[in-house]
Copies of this chain bind each other. A is one copy, B any other.
């Protein structure tokens, strides 16, 4: 099997690994995105050298990278992701290629995570796998027979921007009622803040000590797990909308497996139960009957596995299958 340097760059953390169908060695670093691309890339190159040294690889066959979109897969550039100010037209592929003297292949983080989970994680062996990242925003990816479905313009599977309620809350995309505006971490925090104003007796209020700016999806989940009625309601509502979004994806993509990843899923059964129940109840029964709804199986590494697999497929010339 080819020897691959796998890279996963996120807004908060970044990772480098020596990948050979599994992670032989890896490092996880804080991205420190506020210090700008030069700083971040320098540290990522250093970490890459360290992981390759750990496995004593003097030469690698390819580099696979999972990076935030928008990006250009052909030019291998990162093009101004919303959460990475200053990353404008950064030739991340070229930088790594000249450092390690090997071809690079890049894809966006959600697609890479979907591919990682489809090939090595919760979707192993399934013909059609759809993946939701439920985090600050909501991203998606669809893998058909082992290949990422990219769409005509490299932007398919924007699962977070399906409209579920045309008169719903405003979304960061400028429209209303997108799944992302109803079930993301941001949406959960916003909804909890709205309700908190009228519920100063709630546990969540105590947890944030009356400082509403401290409310986050993580704290809402924490309060919910301790029985706070307000927080339970917010998480369950988010679960309902997530389930409705999953039902649509089931009816449109007819997947064998729907995988749920991202930080919000750390809320566990609190959000998973209403999401799963709603999805299976709202999808067409024939399609619901064949689908499994699962949490991601690769922990914090679906993007890293996916980056590795992107390189393997790139080296085999299979990246543009779909």
Contact = CB atoms under 8 A, between A and B. Distances in A.
B252 A158 contact: yes
B158 A251 contact: yes
A83 interface: no
A33 to B, nearest CB: 22
Contacts of A253: 151, 156, 252
Contacts of A166: 164-165, 244
Interface stretch (A54-62, A142-150, A298-306): A142-150
A276 interface: no
A247 B248 CA distance: 13
Nearest to A127: B152
Interface in A225-274: 244, 247-249, 251-256
A284 B254 contact: no
This protein's copies in its complex: 2
Contacts of A244: 163, 166
A29 interface: no
A153 interface: yes
Interface string A271-305: 00000000000101011001100000000000000
Interface in A76-95: none
Contacts of A286: 70, 153, 155
A193 interface: no
B161 A162 contact: no
A163 B248 CA distance: 6
A154 B254 contact: yes
A14 interface: no
A207 interface: no
Contact of A254 (B155, B165, B248, B249): B155
A157 interface: yes
A151 B130 CA distance: 11
Contacts of A151: 128, 253-255, 287
Given A145-B322, A153-B254, 19 more contacts: A128-B151, A128-B152, A128-B156, A140-B252, A144-B149, A150-B254, A151-B253, A151-B254, A156-B254, A158-B252, A161-B251, A162-B248, A162-B251, A162-B252, A163-B244, A164-B164, A166-B244, A248-B248, A322-B322
